[in-house]
């Protein structure tokens, strides 16, 4: 396993890609309402990303047709944008990657379509909280297991399940670099975190059990038991000053 560390200048380039990504997610958030199709969201996102002189990282990645992954309800990740029209009460996970000047940023969040059930609200709030808790662990001297464990701790305390067969990853010039970052596991184990490492941390959580299955399109991944799923992701740099979130969608007013 070779982890490619980034200089502060390179991290700034990733932050610039991340800024476009945050604004893309804001654009998507403004468009989400009952009746809008996931394809319409994807078209708007791609247009915006290209208008900023950037490239959608997902489009064409291993043949993926969209600029966004749009995954409603029991779909966990990797949904292909299409004719599905959002309905009031849905949750929709939107994952996006942006390449600017050769550097990649990757982030996701799950949106509510109108008012949602209290179970769905707990799922979204808990998954986002687990990501923020994990982000806090991205410090020099901590170990990778501290990050993984932070997610699991927050999620399982609420009686929800961490998807185990999908992981976060290092990121930089390539969207998927070493190391793999599970969302569960013991604290205090794994590699030591060092300045210049950049991670995409992405808890995927269900209201049921953790097992998942692949859809018939060979992209979409669903909870096996049909329970609701959420997916939140940041690209985060480990700096001398602590964690630096390069895709701070949580700070941006929509
Ligand atoms: Mg992603
Ligand atoms: Mg990712």
User: Does residue 85 contact residue 73 with C-beta atoms inside 8 Å?
Assistant: no
Q: How does pLDDT run across 78-106, given as a tens digit for each residue?
A: 999 999 999 999 999 999 999 999 999 99
How many A from CA of 180 to the centre of ligand 1?
A: 13
Residue 250 has pLDDT above 80, yes or no: yes
How many A from CA of 80 to the centre of ligand 1?
A: 13
Predicted structure pTM score: 0.97
SS3 132: helix
Q: pLDDT averaged over the chain?
A: 97
User: Residue 167: phi, psi to the nearest 5?
Assistant: -135, 160
Q: Kindly state the percentage of the chain with pLDDT values over 90.
A: 98
Assign 254 a pLDDT band (cuts: 50, 70, 90).
very low
CA–CA distance, 150 with 186 (Å, rounded to integer): 9
Ligand nearest to the CA of 167: 2
Structural domain spans, the chain: 8-253
Question: Rg (Cα) of the chain, in Å, rounded?
Answer: 17
Q: How does pLDDT run across 162-219, given as a tens digit for each residue?
A: 999 999 999 999 999 999 999 999 999 999 999 999 999 999 999 999 999 999 999 9
Q: What is the length of the chain?
A: 254
CA–CA distance, 212 with 224 (Å, rounded to integer): 4
Q: Note if the bond before 179 is cis, omega within 30 degrees.
A: yes
pLDDT for the residue numbered 253 = 56
SS3 210: coil
How many A from CA of 96 to the centre of ligand 1?
A: 6
Written out in words, the top-level CATH class of the domain with range 8-253 is alpha beta
Q: Looking at residues 131-160, what average pLDDT do you find?
A: 98
How many A from CA of 219 to the centre of ligand 1?
A: 14
pLDDT for the residue numbered 60 = 96
How many A from CA of 88 to the centre of ligand 1?
A: 25
How many A from CA of 232 to the centre of ligand 1?
A: 8
Residue 160 has pLDDT above 70, yes or no: yes
């Amino acid at each position: 396993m070779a982890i490619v560390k980034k200089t502060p200048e390179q991290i700034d380039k990733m932050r610039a890609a991340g800024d476009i990504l945050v604004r893309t997610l804001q654009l998507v958030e403004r468009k989400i309402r009952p009746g809008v199709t996931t394809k319409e969201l994807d078209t708007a996102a791609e247009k915006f990303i290209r208008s900023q002189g950037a490239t959608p990282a997902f489009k064409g990645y291993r043949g993926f047709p969209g600029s966004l992954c749009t995954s409603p309800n029991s779909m966990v990740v990797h949904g292909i944008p299409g004719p599905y029209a959002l309905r009031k009460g849905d949750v929709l996970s939107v994952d996006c990657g942006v390449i600017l000047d050769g550097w990649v940023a990757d982030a996701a969040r799950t949106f509510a379509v109108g008012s949602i059930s209290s179970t769905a609200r707990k799922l979204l709030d808990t998954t986002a909280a687990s990501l923020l808790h994990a982000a806090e662990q991205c410090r020099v001297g901590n170990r990778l297991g501290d990050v993984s464990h932070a997610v699991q701790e927050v999620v399982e305390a609420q009686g929800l399940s961490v998807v185990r067969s999908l992981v976060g990853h290092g990121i930089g010039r390539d969207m998927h670099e070493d190391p793999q970052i599970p969302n569960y596991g013991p604290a205090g184990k794994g590699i030591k975190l060092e300045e210049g490492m950049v991670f995409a941390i992405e808890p995927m959580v269900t209201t049921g059990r953790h097992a998942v299955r692949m859809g018939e399109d060979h992209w979409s991944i669903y909870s096996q038991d049909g329970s609701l799923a959420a997916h939140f992701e940041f690209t985060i740099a480990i700096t001398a000053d602590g964690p630096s979130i390069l895709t701070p969608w949580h700070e941006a007013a929509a």
